[in-house]
Amino acid sequence: PLQLTLGSLIKYLRDRDHDNELLVYFMPTAAGPCRFGQYSSFISSYIERTGIENVALFSLPAETSYSGGFGDDVTLKLWSGLILSQIIEDLHSHFLVNAVDPAAALRTLEDQWRQLLIIQETSPSHRNLKQALRRVSQELSRVAVRRSWNETPAVLLTGEIYVRHDGISRQFLVEKLAAAGFITKVSSIMEWLYYTDWLVKKKIDSRPTNMLTMARLAVRSIFMRNYEKDLKGIVAESDLLPCHLEDIDKLIDMTKSMIDPRLTGEAILTIGGALADVPRHYSGVIAIGPFGCMPNQIAEAILSTEMSQGWRESAWSEGKRQLFPGLEELPFLAIESDGNPFPQVINAKLEVFMMQARRLHNMRIPL
């Protein structure tokens, strides 16, 4: 991801129309040796060494849950943007698979996304966004589809945040799965922000905070949750998407017997998401990350066992395993991406994964 994040900055500087503009490049940080820990420092050093003028890095740390850089009003507007972008991404995957005319459906989706962007840029109050999203949902509900989201085989794509959201890094995996009839639910960035809130509240891997800061964080968290519930609920009312809210407490509770919560990072979210949502919401999970990514390798090591046998005792200990007679393991695939096309062995494993996920979808009943 370093090549892509730095490369996107260099490309923008090369292609921009006004060389004299003042540019702020947002690169958040977090503790550790990975992207969040080192990219900001490297890019800042690159700007200084190459003598690029009028460019500054803006970096907020995860240890404060990215607070302190904006006022609460701006923070909630940014949060609304994240929720809306996730909704549009889910709808893109849905229409890619199920629209009677996918090309026309995606054009309609793009047009409606532009309408939301206009509201986000000009008058992004929560009330205005809800009204706009309600109009957009009504328009998109008219798109002809072959089947609903819940009737379609769906897989969870999780793992390292950047790679799972970047088309080049994930080698257009969403499109490959769509061609085979699968909706892909990409784990959201919201998941990470809720997680950093949780770390601050639990005083794990966070900077010292006073009572006023903790109180503001608690109030912010309430607003964040309400915004997510409101906006996702509007789309669910139009039967476009299920209203599936993020639940960090549940993810961490699912994993605490396998990985200590004090070992912070994306591994705990990757593991928790897989165990909490498969097979309840999805028929399989793919964990993707950069080549040599330690959190992804930790998640792969644990999930390789849990998804093959431990899921009966840990994630699915509600007496419901009889719903899947003869099922020995839950579909799971770990992928390391270095930006090159996936090797044949990964493509072969992907074919097996899809076969298992389709079988599980056909076995599932409403849970």
Q: What average pLDDT does the segment 107-118 reach?
A: 96
Cα 116 from Cα 105, distance rounded (Å): 17
Decide if pLDDT at 92 tops 50: yes
pLDDT score, position 58: 85
Q: What average pLDDT does the segment 115-144 reach?
A: 94
Cα 116 from Cα 128, distance rounded (Å): 10
Cα 159 from Cα 273, distance rounded (Å): 10
Cα 303 from Cα 308, distance rounded (Å): 8
CB 331 within 8 A of CB 356: yes
pTM equals 0.88
Q: How wide is the angle at C-alpha 347 spanned by C-alphas 265 and 187, nearest 5°?
A: 30
3-class state of residue 26 by DSSP: strand
Decide if pLDDT at 309 tops 80: no
Decide if pLDDT at 292 tops 70: yes
pLDDT score, position 293: 84
Cα 182 from Cα 202, distance rounded (Å): 38
Percent of the chain with pLDDT over 90: 53
- The DSSP letter of residue 61 is B
Decide if pLDDT at 22 tops 80: yes
Cα 47 from Cα 24, distance rounded (Å): 12
What the block records as the tokens of 58 is 């803006």
Which of these ranges, 215-219, 229-233, 340-344, has the smallest mean pLDDT?
Answer: 215-219
Partners of 285 in beta bridges? 156, 332
- The DSSP letter of residue 145 is B
pLDDT band per the 50, 70, 90 thresholds, residue 85? very high
266-288 exposure pattern, b = at least 16 Cβ within 10 A, e = fewer: bbbbbbbbbbbbbbebbbbbbbb
182-209 exposure pattern, b = at least 16 Cβ within 10 A, e = fewer: bbbbbbbbbbbbbbbbbbbeeeebbeeb
Phi, psi of 51 (to 5 degrees): 70, 25
pLDDT band per the 50, 70, 90 thresholds, residue 314? very low
pLDDT score, position 322: 45
Cα 349 from Cα 352, distance rounded (Å): 5
Work out whether strand 154-159 and strand 55-58 pair parallel, antiparallel, or are unpaired: unpaired
pLDDT score, position 315: 45
Partners of 328 in beta bridges? none
Cα 215 from Cα 49, distance rounded (Å): 42
